[in-house]
Amino acid sequence: MRRWLAVGWIALCLPVGAAELVLEAGRHTRQWSTAQLLAHPQARNIDIPADVSYKRAMHYRAVPLAVLLEGIREDDHLQAVAADGFAAEMPAAPLLQTGPAKAWLAIEDPGQPWPPLATGKPGAGPFYVVWTHPQASGIRPEQWPFQVGRLRRLAAVEQRFPQMLPDPALPNDAPERAGFALFQQNCMACHRLNGGGDAQVGPDLNLPHNPTEYFQDGWLRQLIRNPQALRQWPQGKMPGFDESVLDDRALDALLAYLKHMAGRKP
For 204-262, the pLDDT digits (tens) are: 999 999 999 999 999 999 999 999 888 888 777 788 888 878 899 999 999 999 999 99
Give the chain's mean pLDDT. Answer: 87
Phi and psi, residue 130, nearest 5°: -125, 165
Which has the closest alpha carbon to 146: 177, 166, 125, 118? 125
pLDDT for 70 equals 83
Beta carbons of 166 and 257 less than 8 angstroms apart: yes
- Look at residue 47 in the predicted model and tell me its pLDDT: 97
Interatomic CA distance for residues 75 and 5, integer angstroms = 13
Measured distance CA(30)–CA(153) in Å, rounded: 16
* pLDDT of 173: 95
Residues 60-69 as b or e (16 or more Cβ within 10 Å = b): bbbbbbbebb
pLDDT band at 1 (very low <50, low <70, confident <90, very high): very low
CATH superfamily for 161-261 is Cupredoxins -  blue copper proteins (2.60.40.420)
> Taking residues 191-206, what's their average pLDDT?
92
Q: pLDDT per residue over 3-60, tens digit each?
A: 333 344 444 344 445 587 766 655 667 778 899 999 999 999 999 999 999 999 999 9
Domain boundaries, the chain: 16-154, 161-261
- Looking at residue 8, its pLDDT comes to 43
pLDDT band at residue 199 using 50, 70 and 90 as cut-offs: confident
Distance CA 133, CA 98 (A): 11
Judge whether residue 189 has pLDDT over 80. Answer: yes
Between the alpha carbon of residue 126 and those of residues 11, 101, 230, the distances in Å are: 7, 22, 33
pLDDT at 14: 41
**Residue 26 pLDDT:** 58
pTM of the model: 0.76
pLDDT of 110-166, one tens digit each?
Answer: 999 999 998 888 999 999 999 999 989 888 888 899 998 778 888 889 999 999 999
The vertex-50 CA angle with 45 and 56, nearest 5°, equals: 95
At the fourth CATH level, which superfamily is domain 16-154?
A: Oxidoreductase, molybdopterin-binding domain (3.90.420.10)
Residue-level pLDDT at 18: 59
